[in-house]
Structure 1
Amino acid sequence: MPRTIAIGDVHGCADEFEELLQALELKPDDRIIQVGDLVNRGPDSHRAIELARKYEVEAILGNHELRLLTARNQEKSSLLKDYDRETICQLTEEDWLYLEAMPSVLYSARIETVFVHGGFLPNIPWQKQAIETITSIQVIDKKGNAAKRSDAPDAPPWADSWRGSPFVVYGHTPRPNVLERPGSIGIDTGCVYGGHLTAYIIEDQSLVQVRARQAYAHSKRLPDPI
């Protein structure tokens, strides 16, 4: 039976990405979806994209790719962070084409599941939500708006309010463990911060994880390493 495999935020952790892909013992009919933030923060964004091409991984647009592309296409270098500039130095023209082709979401009617980087507001059809929302949402603030955890630290995760359908698989919000809710699962387990890189197999609801070889970046919200 073909598997649908979702992989969490890679953030340029190419060694861990390759280790996980090998651990999955992939078969020709398997579908691999990476839920965004394939690049940035970690050591080798170029090789992470090379691996995605080699293994025919379908990567979704994350907030990090969105910022890089916006800065490049609109000539807004002021948007860039220091680690963005390090990533840009690594990327080839072929890498940029891969980033440009990333979809904002992927939906499978067969398994009634949508794959997205950040998530969704519960009161708006998921197909109609803005790219800025679905790549950056972490929590829902007191006014019912999408927000980052850092801007609304006491606000609940958007997933607490999501009842589905469809079922949502997402990344973006790093945690020590996956966050399971009846209508969703968050699979960013903070590889770049010294945690794990996680794969979630939809059909049997199983997890495959590899441990980060080191902490490549520091998070204000997570112990280091997580």
Structure 2
Amino acid sequence: MNRRIITIGDIHGCHEEFAAMLHRLQPSSDDQIILLGDMVNRGPDSARVLDMAREIKATALLGNHELRLLEYRRSGNNTRLKETDAATLASLRPEHWDYLESLPVTHHLPEINTVCVHGGFLPGIPWQKQSPDIVTRIQVVDREGQPGKRTECPHGVLWADLWSGPPFVIYGHIPRPDIYKLKWSVGIDTACVMGGHLTAYVLPDRRFVQVQAKQTYFGRGPRPATT
């Protein structure tokens, strides 16, 4: 069997769907599994998802939800915390915090000219030089060329719509009803925690695999891709 690169979108504590995805994919020891961040919060069992990620030796990336928890732990400043963070904070053990502290913000696959990241990149700046705050949180680009969230910048343009590559970017972070595939990027956060799907993008055959969420754990469903 040829080595596969298996990228998986935002899990958000949905451990049963994560287990179902692994069962469907049947990864071998030769495969590389890359989790695109936001493994925690909102869903039923963030600690279990982290345990599973560690067990399968996944390459996991830092998402904005992990970054928010780490910022709180380092500073004690709770102004950025969300209501659903409390259950996660209560469940994490020391080994989970060590794991979160070790997460990189990007994973480069130079052999296929591809970069994996949680949120994305600000076009016009070398991707390697962008801060964790940008690459974990960017959704849109505003009229001044600054990164922002869809909810805070309704007239912003999706960063991926402006990204002309290379490299090709595989990302999560923006929950949508469907996969968002463009020439130089693919967004695979299909809102599992909101009752959508957990999505994997499998290379080199460029195949998508999806697992339907067992229920809606958070919110009322994803927004469409357009702004």
TM-score (norm 2): 0.95
Shift in Å, 1:206: 0.5
- The SS at the match of 1:77 is coil
Shift in Å, 1:221: 5.4
**Which residue in 1 is equivalent to 2:83?**
82
Q: Which runs of 5+ in 2 are unaligned?
A: none
Shift in Å, 1:220: 7.3
Tell me the percent identity. Answer: 50
Assess, with a 3 A threshold, how the Cα gap between structure 1 residues 24 and 67 changes in structure 2: closer, same or farther: same
TM-score (norm 1): 0.96
Q: Which amino acid aligns with 1:111?
A: I
Are 2:115 and 1:114 aligned? yes
Instruction: Indicate the larger mover: 81-90 or 36-45.
Output: 81-90
Aligned equivalents of 2:111 and 2:221: distance in 1?
39
**Which residue in 1 is equivalent to 2:37?**
36
Shift in Å, 1:222: 3.4
Aligned equivalents of 2:5 and 2:114: distance in 1?
10
Aligned equivalents of 1:28 and 1:162: distance in 2?
34
Aligned equivalents of 2:40 and 2:119: distance in 1?
15
Shift in Å, 1:155: 2.2
**Which residue in 1 is equivalent to 2:141?**
140
Q: Which runs of 5+ in 1 are unaligned?
A: none
**Which residue in 2 is equivalent to 1:48?**
49
Instruction: Provide runs of 4+ in structure 1 moved above 3 Å.
Output: 219-223
Question: Could you tell me whether the CA contact under 8 Å between 2:38 and 2:65 is conserved in 1?
Answer: yes
RMSD: 1.2
Aligned equivalents of 2:78 and 2:141: distance in 1?
30
Are 2:94 and 1:93 aligned? yes
**Which residue in 1 is equivalent to 2:202?**
201
- The SS at the match of 1:135 is helix
Q: Equivalent residues in 2 for 1:1-226 (5 A)?
A: 1-219=2-220, 222=223
- The SS at the match of 2:112 is coil
